[in-house]
Structure 1
């Protein structure tokens, strides 16, 4: 059987698919698709970042939330104008809405941070349980970017034991990320330290996530789990590459 490939630019020409030889390489590409790249990550981060910056400058919760909402609308309009998916922008809408609900309902500025803390606790526990149950969260992220999901087979990745092991290691990185956030922001929230919470929200947001992605990348780059050419996880890539060679780039 020919070596499995992934469509994309390569040394052989503008369409020349690059070979996939390890589970780590395959997961790295799927993970990149699921996260939406740099733009998708920024879209989920910038509205709340606008919130904490304005709050630090004005101490006005309504103005801060308004700035976050305004930026969200601009990001959403940009996606719609380009006829692209707004899923990452909508994620920021949920986060901003929860912050507004908690802060305005209680009248306490620090309560705007409570949804994020509770979410980190829930995701941390859920991610750890997913590893223990051998259904790692990162595997679902990969499955979401798998063409097989359109065929009603979103769990094809789990039939590859090597992929499950690698996804488990990557999910433990996420467990560590959420644990750090809760360990730092939890005590600051209980102390009502709004200034420190504002700084922590920035530092433990995009920078910490970027650090986790770097750690994941190192694990994936250094890993050398071989791929079985007959494995179902690879077959979808091979079919996609064959179709691209036949019909040319979209």
Structure 2
């Protein structure tokens, strides 16, 4: 055996042997766990409750933004990733701009609804053309051939099913929030309730369904 052959490193071993294991790991990473869930919900709850008790739009906005900043500082002090707080802070900031500009409290929820609508449209389009968005989670784990998953019909079929499940929460949320938004400021309380109750809890239910489906399957990963 030559010296070069002896020095050659062993081939990389995937930490996940099946498609189901990869998708489980990638989805868990994307949603930020329990802390990410709380960080996303707290500013919305604060805005909604403050508006209900004070009907002071400016104060409600300032309080929700301030809470987001406190959560961000806590992340920085603890030297943990601020990604999910920054996402929440960005959303709150855009909502605050819309609400303060129009003077209508319900407009604080409009940017989030528009964002969900755009994301849902892209998600459904990806499913209909059979390039389901969850398939790209698999592609991210295979930089040498990121579309290898798409050449395997069984993997595409699996990702289509899972993608429909993950698209449902946004569709449900919009179907409830749009009528409440159109009803005006008298329904800001219910808009806030809908945003929180139909946000992470519904996504977690979808994840639980996906997890159950993944736990039952053993689809081999594609190879290059």
TM class by shorter chain equals 0.7 to 0.9
TM norm structure 2? 0.80
Q: Could you tell me which of 30, 33, 37 is aligned with 1:34?
A: 30
1:186 aligns with 2:182: no
SS at match of 2:220: coil
Query: CA shift at 1:159, angstroms?
Result: 5.5
| 164 and 64 in structure 1: CA distance in 2 versus 1, 3 angstrom threshold | farther
| 143 and 188 in structure 1: CA distance in 2 versus 1, 3 angstrom threshold | same
Residue in structure 2 matched with residue 211 of structure 1 by the alignment: 205
Q: Distance in 2 between matches of 1:56 and 1:37?
A: 29
Query: CA shift at 1:196, angstroms?
Result: 2.2
| 176 and 81 in structure 1: CA distance in 2 versus 1, 3 angstrom threshold | same
Residue in structure 1 matched with residue 192 of structure 2 by the alignment: 198
**How many equivalent residue pairs?**
211
Contact 1:127 1:137 in 2 (8 A): yes
1:175 aligns with 2:171: no
Alignment gaps of 5+ in structure 1: 7-19, 233-250
SS at match of 1:130: helix
Residue in structure 1 matched with residue 70 of structure 2 by the alignment: 74
Residue in structure 1 matched with residue 219 of structure 2 by the alignment: 226
TM norm structure 1? 0.73
Deviation string for 1:17-39 (max 9, x for gaps)? xxx45321221122212322222
Residue in structure 2 matched with residue 104 of structure 1 by the alignment: 100
Q: Distance in 2 between matches of 1:42 and 1:156?
A: 36
Deviation string for 1:1-53 (max 9, x for gaps)? x9x662xxxxxxxxxxxxx4532122112221232222233333332232223
Deviation string for 1:207-233 (max 9, x for gaps)? 2222222222222223x24315x725x
Q: Distance in 2 between matches of 1:33 and 1:133?
A: 26
Residue in structure 2 matched with residue 124 of structure 1 by the alignment: 120
Deviation string for 1:129-178 (max 9, x for gaps)? 0112233222345555x3x56x8x66565455544332222221232211
Moved more, 34-43 or 211-220: 34-43
SS at match of 2:80: coil
Q: Could you tell me which of 131, 135, 147 is aligned with 1:135?
A: 131
Q: Which has the higher contact order (CA 8 A, sep 6+)?
A: 1
Contact 2:19 2:138 in 1 (8 A): no
Contact 1:143 1:155 in 2 (8 A): yes
Q: Distance in 1 between matches of 2:86 and 2:108?
A: 18
Contact 1:188 1:197 in 2 (8 A): yes
Root-mean-square deviation (Å): 2.7
Q: Distance in 2 between matches of 1:127 and 1:157?
A: 18
Runs of 4+ in 1 over 3 A off after TM superposition: 139-144, 153-164
Contact 2:95 2:109 in 1 (8 A): yes
Query: CA shift at 1:79, angstroms?
Result: 2.0
